[in-house]
Structure 1
Amino acid sequence: MFLTSHFDAGPAAEDRSAPADAADRYRAPALDKGLDILEVLAEQPRGLTRAEIVKLMGVSPSQIYRMLERLVVRGYVSRVEGGDRYALSMKLFNLGTRHPPLRRLVAQAQPMMDEFAIEVRQSCHLVVPEHGHGIIIAQASPQGHWEFRGRVGGLLDLFATGSGLALLAFQHPDRLAETLRLWGIADAGARLAAIAGHLAEVREQGARVAPSAQFVGVTDISVPVRGPGDEAVAVLTCAHIDHPGEGGEDSRDRALARLQTLAASL
Structure 2
Amino acid sequence: MEKSTQPEAVSSVLKVFNILSALSDRKEIGVSELSQNLMMSKATTYRFLQTMKTLGYVEQEGEADKYALTLKLFELGSKALDHVDLIDLAHTEMTKICHIINETAHLGAIDEKSIIYLHKIDSSYHLRMHSRVGRRNPLYSTAIGKVLMSHMTEDEVRELLADVEFKKHTERTHETVEQLIEELQLVREQHYGEDNQEQEPGLRCIAVPIFDRFGAAIAAISVSFPTIRFDEDKKQEYIALLHTAGRNVSEHLGYHSYPV
Structure number with greater CO (CA < 8 Å, separation at least 6) is 2
Report 1:55-74 matches (<5 A).
none
The whole-number CA distance in structure 2 between the counterparts of 1:264 and 1:13 is 44
Structure 2 residue 220 is the aligned partner of structure 1 residue 235: yes
Amino acid at match of 1:258: L
Alignment partner, residue 194 of structure 2:
209
Q: 1:2 aligns with which of 11, 15, 21?
A: 11
**Residue identity opposite 1:150 in structure 2:** S
Q: What do the CA deviations read for 1:142-201 (whole angstroms, capped 9, x no partner)?
A: 3344433431111111123222122211224465567x4xxxx6667x964442211111
2:115 to 109, 115, 134: 134
Q: Could you say which residue in structure 1 is the equivalent of 2:146?
A: 165
Instruction: Say what the alpha-carbon RMSD is for the aligned residues.
Output: 3.4
Does the 8 A contact of 1:128 with 1:234 survive in 2? yes
AA aligned to 1:257 is A
Question: What corresponds to 2:105 in structure 1?
Answer: 124
Q: How far apart, CA to CA, are the structure 2 residues paired with 1:194 and 1:186?
A: 14
State how 1:175-214 maps to structure 2 within 5 Å. Answer: 175-176=156-157, 180=160, 192-214=177-199
Q: How does 1:101-120 map to 2 (within 5 A)?
A: 101-120=82-101
Contact 1:171 / 1:232 at 8 angstroms: preserved in 2?
Answer: no
Are the structure 2 counterparts of residues 116 and 7 from structure 1 closer, same or farther at C-alpha, using a change threshold of 3 Å? same
* Closer/same/farther in 2, CA of residues 12 and 134 from structure 1, 3 Å limit: closer
The whole-number CA distance in structure 2 between the counterparts of 1:226 and 1:138 is: 17
- Structure 1 spans left out of the alignment, 5+ residues: 15-24, 27-95
Going from structure 1 to structure 2, the CA distance change for 1:13 and 1:242 (only over 3 Å counts) comes to: closer
Give the secondary structure class of the aligned counterpart of 1:156. Answer: strand
Contact 1:123/1:149 (<8 A) preserved: no
Instruction: Assess if the C-alpha contact under 8 Å between 1:114 and 1:141 holds in 2.
Output: no
Q: Deviations over 1:53-103 (max 9, x none)?
A: xxxxxxxxxxxxxxxxxxxxxxxxxxxxxxxxxxxxxxxxxxx9x931111
Match of 2:18 in 1: none
Q: In the alignment, what sits opposite 1:86?
A: none
Aligned to 1:255: 238
Change over 3 Å in CA distance of 1:232–1:173 after alignment to 2 = farther
TM-score in terms of structure 2 length: 0.57
Following TM superposition, by how much is the alpha carbon of 1:213 offset from its aligned partner in structure 2, in angstroms? 1.1
CA distance in 2, matches of 1:176, 1:214: 19
1:216 Cα offset (Å): 2.3
The one-letter code sitting in structure 2 at the alignment partner of 1:147 is R
Instruction: Name the counterpart of 1:35.
Output: none
The SS at the match of 1:171 is: coil
Distance 2:106 2:137 in 1: 12
Sort the Cα spacing of 1:143 and 1:8 in 2 relative to 1 into closer, same or farther, 3 A.
same
The CA deviation at 1:263 is: 0.6
TM normalised by structure 1 equals: 0.56
After superposition, the Cα gap between the structure-2 partners of 1:221 and 1:7, relative to the gap in structure 1 and judged at 3 Å, is same
1:131 aligned partner, one-letter code: E
Matched positions, count = 178
State the alpha-carbon separation in 1 of the partners of residues 87 and 141 from structure 2: 24
CA contact (8 A) 1:167 1:224 kept: yes
